[in-house]
């Protein structure tokens, strides 16, 4: 059976779990912490990052590469549209989410969840203030200008863009961060719908169990 290394508290691992659930492909989750130094994991992940997909004697790291692999291998419920422009837009939004958006959202997760609850370290309020005042506003402005009133980020089907963007905001929520409905009504509405979707709800139950056992 296909194996995914990582823990779903990582936005990148969660994205892969959601992709597999969306495609209704069974997999085995191999709980692995970021930076795991075991020889076996390092052989699969040269950069030491999660997630990694392993299938028999094939393996590949990186959530975006894994999603592309899943689309090629399991074409049902595609995550990347076939039309050239839509495909490029989805890839761009995925890149945007996996880099700057995760960076901003992770501040809340790290400072209000990981550090105080898992690492026994104090919350650094200045990091939160900086994320609120400087990191998040341009990202939210952009997403508010891009997101549709109803439905998905690109066209009328769920794509890798939706998975990446929603997953980043799940981490922000774990750090008690909510998108302001007054300033960002379309994005806040989109996230409310996404968080309530059966795909996200179903996976979150599993994740909550992991969270409880950790913190």
The footprint of ligand GSH (CB under 6 A) covers 10, 12, 34-35, 48-51, 62-64, 98
When the beta carbons of 10 and 139 are compared against ligand GSH, the nearer one is 10
When the beta carbons of 119 and 148 are compared against ligand GSH, the nearer one is 119
When the beta carbons of 103 and 124 are compared against ligand GSH, the nearer one is 103
Size of the chain, expressed as the number of residues it contains? 215
Q: How far apart are the C-alpha atoms of 52 and 34, rounded to whole Å?
A: 11
Cα angle vertex 28, ends 192, 167, to 5°? 20
Nearest to 101 by CA among 13, 148, 159, 166: 166
* Min separation Cβ 105 and ligand GSH, Å: 11
Write the CB contacts of 83 (distance below 8 Å, at least 6 apart in sequence): none
Structural contact between residues 27 and 2, judged by C-beta atoms closer than 8 angstroms: yes
52-55/58-61 β-pairing = antiparallel
Q: How far apart are the C-alpha atoms of 141 and 20, rounded to whole Å?
A: 30
Structural contact between residues 13 and 52, judged by C-beta atoms closer than 8 angstroms: no
* Min separation Cβ 186 and ligand GSH, Å: 26
* Min separation Cβ 65 and ligand GSH, Å: 8
* Min separation Cβ 149 and ligand GSH, Å: 29
When the beta carbons of 98 and 207 are compared against ligand GSH, the nearer one is 98
* Min separation Cβ 150 and ligand GSH, Å: 28
When the beta carbons of 97 and 188 are compared against ligand GSH, the nearer one is 97
């Amino acid at each position: 059976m296909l194996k995914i290394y990582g823990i779903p508290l990582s936005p990148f691992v969660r994205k892969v779990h959601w992709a597999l659930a969306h495609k209704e492909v069974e997999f085995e989750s191999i709980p692995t912490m970021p930076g795991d130094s075991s020889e076996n994991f390092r052989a699969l992940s040269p950069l030491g990052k999660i997630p990694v997909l392993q299938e028999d004697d094939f393996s590949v790291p990186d959530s975006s590469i894994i999603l592309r692999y899943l689309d090629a291998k399991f074409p049902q419920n595609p995550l990347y549209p076939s039309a050239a422009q839509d495909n490029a837009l989805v890839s761009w939004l995925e890149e945007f989410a996996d880099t700057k958006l995760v960076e901003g959202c992770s501040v809340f997760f790290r400072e209000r969840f990981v550090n105080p609850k898992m690492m026994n370290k104090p919350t650094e309020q200045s990091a939160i203030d900086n994320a609120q005042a400087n990191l998040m506003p341009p990202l939210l402005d952009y997403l508010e200008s891009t997101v549709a009133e109803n439905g998905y980020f690109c066209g009328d089907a769920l794509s890798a863009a939706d998975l990446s963007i929603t997953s980043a905001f799940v981490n922000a929520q774990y750090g008690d961060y909510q998108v302001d409905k007054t300033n960002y009504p379309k994005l806040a509405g989109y996230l409310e719908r996404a968080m309530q979707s059966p795909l996200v709800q179903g996976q979150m139950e599993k994740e909550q169990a992991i969270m409880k056992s950790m913190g």
